[in-house]
Chains A and B, each alone.
Chain A
Amino acid sequence: DAGVTQSPTHLIKTRGQHVTLRCSPISGHKSVSWYQQVLGQGPQFIFQYYEKEERGRGNFPDRFSARQFPNYSSELNVNALLLGDSALYLCASSFDGSGNTIYFGEGSWLTVV
C-alpha cells in the first residue's frame, strides 16, 4: 500500500509569491494534518482536517490556509511568502481524528528567496 504522498518534493519561490502543496493520505485514512519543520527544530502543527472539516489550527498567520477534498486529499496554501517560510512542510495522515498514530509523508522542501 502506498504511504502518504506529497508533491512537489522541492520547490523554490520568490518572496511575495503564493505556493500550493499537495498531499494524498494513506488509503482509508480520513484525517490529514500539516506541519512545518525548520532546520534543527521539531515539526510545528499548522492544521488538522477530518472528514473535510478543519478540526484544529496552530499558531500560524492567516496567510496559511488549507482544505481537504472529498477523496481526503489535501492542499496547503501559503500566500505572500516570506523568507521565514522556508522549511520542510510535512503532511501526516491518520485513520480518524484521534491522532494516536499518524504517518508522515516525505515532505515538501520549500525555499523562499
Chain B
Amino acid sequence: GQSLEQPSEVTAVEGAIVQINCTYQTSGFYGLSWYQQHDGGAPTFLSYNALDGLEETGRFSSFLSRSDSYGYLLLQELQMKDSASYFCAVRARALNQAGTALIFGKGTTLSVSS
C-alpha cells in the first residue's frame, strides 16, 4: 500500500523556523511535493523534489532523501499568514495504469502566533 506520515500539528512564533517532516511508503515513486492550504481555500503548490537534496524557494525549502523515504519542508522567518495546513504528497504510479496520482498525507496544521 501507499502511506505518508506527517505530524498533525506544529506551533511557532513569528520569525521562527519550523520543519515539517514527512515519511512515505509507496511503490513507483516519482517525487515528493508540498502543498499549502488555508482554511476554505484550495491547496497551492509549494515545491517538488524528484532527486535527493535541498530545493530552496524564498523562505521555503524542501528536502528529499529517497533512500530514507523521507522529506521535510522548512519554513523560515515565519509570518502570521503562514498559518495553514501543509500537505506532503507523493507522485506515484496510479494502480496499474498509465497515469500518475498524487497521494496526500493527512496534513500538518501550522499555527503561527505573535
Contact = CB atoms under 8 A, between A and B. Distances in A.
A74 interface: no
B100 interface: yes
B42 A57 contact: no
Interface residues of A, number: 29
A55 B94 contact: yes
Contact of B102 (A41, A45, A50, A54): A45
Interface in B79-98: 87, 89, 91, 94-95, 97-98
Given A43-B43, A50-B99, A100-B31, A57 B105 contact: no
Interface stretch (A12-20, A75-83, A103-111): A103-111
Given A90-B42, A104-B44, A56 B97 contact: yes
Contacts of B94: 45, 48, 55-58
A87 interface: no
26 contacts: A35-B102, A35-B104, A42-B104, A42-B107, A45-B94, A45-B102, A48-B94, A50-B99, A54-B97, A54-B99, A55-B97, A55-B99, A55-B100, A56-B95, A56-B97, A56-B101, A58-B95, A99-B91, A99-B99, A99-B100, A99-B101, A100-B30, A103-B45, A104-B42, A106-B41, A107-B42
B66 interface: no
Main SS class of interface, B: strand
B64 interface: no
Contact of A56 (B99, B104, B106, B107): B99
B103 interface: yes
Interface of A: 33, 35, 40-45, 48, 50, 54-59, 90, 92, 97-107
Given A43-B43, A54-B99, 8 more contacts: A35-B104, A40-B106, A40-B107, A41-B107, A45-B94, A56-B98, A99-B91, A104-B35
